[in-house]
Amino acid sequence: MKLILDGIEGLAEKSQGEIKNLEYGIRSSIYEIFPTAYVKFNTSYITPDALNAWLLTIQSFKYQLITPEEDSENKGSEIKEFPKVALKETDSQGTAQSILHYFDYKAECAFSQNDDIRDCYVDKHGNKIIEDVLDRNPKFAGFERNIKTTDNSDTIYRTLGETDEEFISKAVNPYFAINNGCPLFYIGLDNKINYTSLNELSKTKDNVQGILRLGSSGNAASEKWRTSKEKSAAIKGGVELNSSTWRLRIGADDTYKALKPSAFISSFSNPYMSQTTKAIYNPAMKEKTYLPVNGNALTLLKSSDSVAITNRPTSNVHYEMKNLIGDKVERLITIKATGATTIYKKADHLLVAGDQLFVWFAYEYSMLNGIYTITEIEYKVIKGTAQCNLVLARNFVDPTFSDEIDTHKDSEEFVYKFAITGQKSVLFKGN
């Protein structure tokens, strides 16, 4: 893969070494509406005005997907463009000898939002409201759309002074669900506007785009078995990523609290009366029922995160409750992989946030292996070399991997000195 930065890249070549250590990247997240980008470099005397780096200057980031076969023939797929970004901030830090520049960018459309609309959406599904917001803003016209239908309808008011971003984030998303998951509105690096949820993105294996390998054990006894797993996951010919630096977190940011949430609801008709109800999460699919939680100890969570909802109609209040508590239970397990090398076996799909990858740890029988959803992705160039940073998430473990241990343990080639068969009986089974 090649990552191309229009303008500055050429200046760096022509500067005769004045612009040094050029680094740049572009990223998107399912939890942020707009993609962001940055450019970083060193100079001895150049200030931003020498590069015409004024606020709101439009910058193009481009990419070219190259398969190993194309690379050997010195060719690749067509050059495509990421969403255009505009300069949001410059930060230049100098010493007597040098200046370190950091240019911060945000998607161009983030700077052109409607804020003069007043409307009332009566008993509308969230996706219909989103479509109306997009149709009213010409800056969204050039994007493809992937808009999923919400589980419920509601009456939503838009007031003057609310930007498109504020209206979607604060007035629309909190009152709907998509496939029983918290709604996500974001623009991907493939120039596609998405309205979906982590549950929706993770519900099938059709979205698996490749493999992320986090180290290798070299265990000959399991190699054939591992390969068969990869083929069964329908990822043959997909993207291959390898990262030696990664971080696995289970229960980060107190995600466990969302397992047994409650809310205190004051009735719209009588705000002095209150009742207690439980959120309906149903976080796990039928085939993904085992959560990374000790089910026997779940009784410890007699109370967890709770919220107070006052003066609201009760018809859709459990959707509001779910979003106030957050989507924590949907991402009980997260993986951050940095500096990953990316090999495209077929150059027809850019890997983006929302795609799925089959993740392998060095221990092939871990219940933590399997399919994860990309929640954040960044493409960057450091010292002329392209690399990829990813954050992935899911909420379940897959016992089928550890179940296979016993079939290999007696092999002379089985190299693991510490390999305990996973015990499904102690895991919390989601409903």
Q: Read out DSSP for 26-70?
A: EEEETTSSS-EEEEEEEESS--GGGGT--TT-EE-EEEE---HHH
Which pLDDT score is estimated for 291? 86
- Work out the average pLDDT over 309-327: 66
- Work out the average pLDDT over 82-99: 93
pTM: 0.90
Query: pLDDT > 90: what percent of the chain?
Result: 43
- Residue spans of the domains in the chain: they are 2-110, 115-200, 202-250+332-429, 252-329
Phi (first) and psi of residue 389, to 5 degrees = -115, 140
Token pair of 412, please? 């002379």
pLDDT at 340 over 80: yes
Q: How confident is the model at residue 387 (pLDDT cuts 50, 70, 90)?
A: very high
Q: Read out DSSP for 88-113?
A: EEEEEEE-SS-EEEEEEEEEGGGGS-
pLDDT at 286 over 60: no
Query: pLDDT > 70: what percent of the chain?
Result: 84
Which pLDDT score is estimated for 157? 94
> Taking a C-beta distance cutoff of 8 angstroms, is the pair 5, 40 a contact?
no
More confident residue, 372 or 410: 372
- Dump pLDDT digits (tens) for 130-177: 999 999 999 999 899 999 999 999 999 999 999 999 999 999 998 898
Which pLDDT score is estimated for 71? 72
pLDDT at 431 over 70: no
- Dump pLDDT digits (tens) for 230-254: 776 656 668 889 988 999 999 888 8
Average pLDDT, the chain: 84
Which pLDDT score is estimated for 135? 96
Which pLDDT score is estimated for 282? 53
pLDDT at 361 over 60: yes
Residue 79's SS3 state is coil
More confident residue, 355 or 238: 355
More confident residue, 281 or 19: 19
- Work out the average pLDDT over 9-24: 79
Over its C-alpha atoms, the chain yields an Rg (Å, rounded) of 24
Which pLDDT score is estimated for 93? 95
- Dump pLDDT digits (tens) for 173-221: 988 989 888 899 999 999 999 999 988 898 776 778 989 999 877 777 6
Which pLDDT score is estimated for 47? 87
Q: Write a three-state SS string for 160-201.
A: CCCCHHHHHHHHHHHHCCECCECEEEEECCCCEEEEEEHHHH
Q: Of the spans 6-10, 41-45, 274-278, 407-411, which averages the highest pLDDT?
A: 41-45
* Statement: 202-250+332-429 belongs to CATH 2.40.30.150: yes
- Work out the average pLDDT over 98-120: 95
Residue 7's SS3 state is coil
